[in-house]
Amino acid sequence: MLLTDAFKTSTRSLTQGKLRSFLTMLGIVIGIASVILLMSIGQSAQDLIFNQVQSVGSDLVFVVPGAPSGGGFSSPAASQGIIITSLVDRDISSLEREPSILGATGEVRGQAEIVYGNNNKTVSYQGVTGNFFDVRNMDVAPGRPFSKGEVDSGSRVAVIGPTLAESLFGTNVSPLNKTVRLKNISFRVIGVLEKGGTGAFGIDQGNLVIIPVTIAQQQMLGTSYFNDVIIKASPDYELAFVKSRITSVLRQNHGIASEKKDDFEINTQEDILSILGNITSIMTIFLAAIASISLVVGGIGIMNIMLVAVTERTREIGLRKAVGATNNDILQQFLIESVLLTLVGGLIGIAFGAALVGIVYFALSTFTTIGWVFAFPIKAVLLALSVSTFSGLVFGIYPARKAGKKNPIDALRYE
C-alpha cells in the first residue's frame, strides 16, 4: 500500500468518529498547553529577575560577611543563624581610599512597623552610609537624599519608596516634611524614591524605608557592623582587578594570610546572574517535567482508544487482509492514525498554550505592577511537536502491531 493511500484511509477512519478523536486528543492538547505555559512563565520570570538585577548597575560589587559558600549569596555560617560581624566602618574607609573604587557604602537591614496617623504598615528598612545614593545611582524625586553630614550627626531623616508614600499619605498629599514613626522613633520624610527601581538583592524598592546607618545601628538594631557592603567600581579598571583589590584590602584589614580563612564573600553582577540563571533554569525544567506527566497520561489514553479501535474493526482488518493487505499495511495504517491524533493534538495544544501565555501576560501587566516580561520560547514549541509525534509512535506501536498480526480467518469470523 502506498503511503498516501494509508494516510487517506487513516484520515477517513478518524473523521468518521470526530467526537471520539477529539476526546482522545484532549489529553495531548492539555499536556502540550501546560508545558508551553509553564516554560513561558519560567522564561518570563527569569527575564524579569535578570532585568531587575541588571538595573542595579553593572559596575557594582557586593561584599557579604562570612566564609565563601561556593556559589550562593550567604555563607554557611549565616545560613545556620550565626551572626557575622566582619564588615565594619574601617573597611568602608579603607576601600574608599583604593584608586580602582569610586565609592563604597555599608548597609544594615531590618523590618519594623511604620506609622503615620491612623495608617501603619510593616516594611523593610535599610540603614545606609552617606554616599549610598551615589553608589547605587538611586534617584530621589520629589525631595532629596540625606547627606553624609546628616548620617554622621545622626539626623532622624528618611527617604521612602513611592508605593509606601501612597499607602501612608494618599495620592494628593505630599509626604515631604511629614513625620512618621518607625520602631517608635520619629523620622522626617525628606524624599521619595523614583518609581520602577529595585533594591539590592531584589528588595522591593516601592515599600522601602532608607534611614541613616547611625540611627539604625545605635537605636534600632544595637550593632556596629554591616550586613553587606556595596562598592562602585571605577570604569578605568576591569571588574576582576577591582575584585582582587577589594580582596587584598579586606584581608589586610582583617589580618587574613590565607584565602581559606576569608571571612567575606565577593559577588559581581555576573556572579549573581549566573546563580540566578541556574536557579530559574532548574525551576523551569522542574515545572515542565510536572506538566509533561499529563502528556504521558494523554499518550496512554491514545493507546487505550487505539486498542479499542483494533477490537471494533476486527472484521475490517480481516476483509482487508483477505483482499491482499499485508501485516505491514495494517500496522502502517494504525500507526499513522495514532501519530495523526497526537500531532494534531500537539498543534491545537500549541495554539491553546500561546493563547494562555497571552492571557497571563495581559492580566499581570494590566492588574499588577511587577513589570512582567512576555516570553514565548520557541524551544517550548519544538519540544511540544517532538513530544507529541514521539508519543504517537510510542503509544501507537503496540495497538498497530496487534492489528497487523491478526489472523484474517479469525478476524472474518469475529462478531
The domain spans of the chain are: 3-53+274-413, 85-262
Task: Examine the pLDDT at 378 and tell me if it is beyond 70.
Answer: yes
Task: Report yes or no: 214 and 129 within 8 Å, Cβ to Cβ.
Answer: no
Q: What pLDDT does 76 receive?
A: 45
Least confident of 19-33, 117-131, 192-206, 365-379: 192-206
E-strand ranges in 66-184 read: 101-116, 119-128, 140-143, 157-160, 179-182
Report the helix count and the strand count for the chain, using DSSP H and E: 14, 10
For residue 161, the model assigns a pLDDT of: 92
Instruction: Check residues 246 and 26 and name the one with the higher pLDDT.
Output: 246
Predicted TM-score (pTM) of the model is 0.63
Per-residue pLDDT tens over the stretch 75-90: 444 444 556 778 999 9
pLDDT tops 70 at residue 376:
yes
Take residue 292 and report the three cell numbers written for it.
509533561
pLDDT at 127: 95
Q: What pLDDT score was predicted for residue 412? A: 56
Flag whether pLDDT at 141 surpasses 90: no
The rounded mean pLDDT for the chain is: 80
Residue 41's H or E segment, with its range, is: helix 18-56
Spatial distance between the Cα atoms of 141 and 193, rounded to a whole number of angstroms: 6
Residue of higher predicted confidence among 384 and 159:
159
Phi and psi (nearest 5°) for 263? -110, 30
How many CA within 13 A on the CB side of residue 92? Answer: 21
